[in-house]
Amino acid sequence: MKEWFTVEEAAEYLCVSRRTIYKLTKEGRLPAFRIGQERHRRFRKEDLDKVPRPSEEVRTLERLIKLSAESDPVLAEIWDNENDAAYDRI
């Protein structure tokens, strides 16, 4: 099993862009280790596994913002008007 990842490999592993890897590193949310004269970044698998995956964050966000007329009576009343009749057919 692979223990150390390059920036490209880390991005692929987490299903994010290289830019996101750099951002996570800059914010201190993902530790990076510098190696060699050119100071290339390397990431440990155990650190990558601690970073939330985009799909997990999206699912959490969807649960928070999911609104429906059934779950919110005030919202149902706002939506139940003649101006929104076109949306009722969707």
The CATH code of the domain at 4-88 is 1.10.1660.10
- Residue 58, SS3? helix
pLDDT of 46-87, one tens digit each? 999 998 766 665 666 666 555 555 666 666 666 566 666 665
Amino acid 66: pLDDT: 59
Amino acid 38: pLDDT: 85
Amino acid 24: pLDDT: 93
C-alpha to C-alpha distance for 59 and 36, rounded to whole angstroms: 39
Whether 47 contacts 55, CB under 8 Å? no
